[in-house]
Amino acid sequence: MMTTANLDPSDGAGTAGVPVASRWHSVSSTREYDRCPRRYRYGYVDRLPQDRHVPIPWRIGSAVHAALEAAYRSKQDHARQPLVDGLPAALVALRRAWDGLELPHDDRYRRAGQQVARTLRQDVLEVDEVVGVELPLRDDLAPGHRVAGFLDLLLRRGPSTLEIVDHKVTGRRATTTEVAGDLQLNLYGTLVLARWPETTEVRATLHYPTGPDRVTVTLTVQGMTTARRRVEHTAAVIATDIDFTPRPGPHCDHCPWQPRCPAARG
């Protein structure tokens, strides 16, 4: 019999829990649980719509991601065309995402468009073959440990080398050591190897369109194994949690479900 979390409806969260056995776990979801179990419950168990917008800089990042996604899809569909040929599609996607995220049409919109254009013209990733864009990967080979992830971009760099690319619309650049130890990129590495077992090298890149520039490393078996085990450990803890007790902290300031959370009520 599948187990369902016993959810207390007294705070307005609802009672329609998702069976534990049907949940997929990722670095993002397990980090959310580590940050605040109640926040995890709202987003991944009850699957509630957000009560308020996330901060504007985060939404701008999402809009730029949408524009890049459109450009790389165009490259995937037309392998021989230069990346910059996807600029018209990227700008259309940028505007749609901008409006959908209810962002103001001020100088930030113009700068975002310029940033996207500069990124596609310079093509610091030197894109040749695009394997996937916003690519969903899942692995449920280990019973009770179903892990998943969405890759921003997956590139082929040779007959047995694949490169995971994660777009970062931030000012700070990670070091190679930080990229090599990044849990999300390493978990993605395990998912790539599960999908393409003939792969002998998995590279991971943080791509900064604000540069544009990039930081690239080759992932290690040890790093990928550690990431997988950490996600599986947290998933096991989540499976036993029936309360999802709130854990207040600075993260509450930007929590999209703060208005309904009992820990945020004065």
pLDDT in tens, 133-189: 999 998 875 556 688 899 999 999 999 999 999 999 988 999 999 999 999 999 999
Confidence grade of residue 253 (pLDDT, cut at 50, 70, 90): confident
Mean pLDDT across the chain: 88
Contact 255, 36 (CB under 8 A): yes
Q: Are 93 and 66 in contact (CB under 8 A)?
A: yes
At 68 the pLDDT is: 98
**pLDDT 10s digits, 201-223:** 999 999 999 999 999 999 999 99
Rg over alpha carbons for the chain, rounded to the nearest Å, is 20
Q: Which residues contact 172 (CB under 8 A, 6 or more apart)?
A: none
With a cut of 80, say whether residue 3 has pLDDT above it: no
**pLDDT score for 144:** 62
Percent residues over pLDDT 90 in the chain: 70
Mean pLDDT value of segment 21-39 = 88
Query: What pTM was computed for the model?
Result: 0.85
Greater confidence, 26 or 52? 26
Three-point CA angle 87, 75, 173, nearest 5°: 70
Quickly count: other Cβ atoms within 10 Å of residue 70's Cβ: 23
Q: Which domains does the chain have, with CATH numbers?
A: 56-122 (no CATH), 129-230 (3.90.320.10)
* pLDDT exceeds cutoff 50 at 238: yes
Please give the pLDDT value at position 1. Answer: 24
pLDDT at position 4? 28
Quick: pLDDT tens for 86-121: 999 999 999 999 999 999 999 999 999 999 999 999
Backbone angles phi, psi at 129, to 5 degrees: -110, 120
Alpha carbon distance 165, 216 (integer Å): 9
How many C-beta neighbours within 10 Å does residue 109 have? 17
Report how far residue 24's alpha carbon sits from residue 265's, in angstroms, rounded to the nearest whole number.
Answer: 31
Q: In Å, how far from its chain's centre is CA 261?
A: 24
pLDDT at 15 over 80: no
3-class state of residue 148 by DSSP: strand
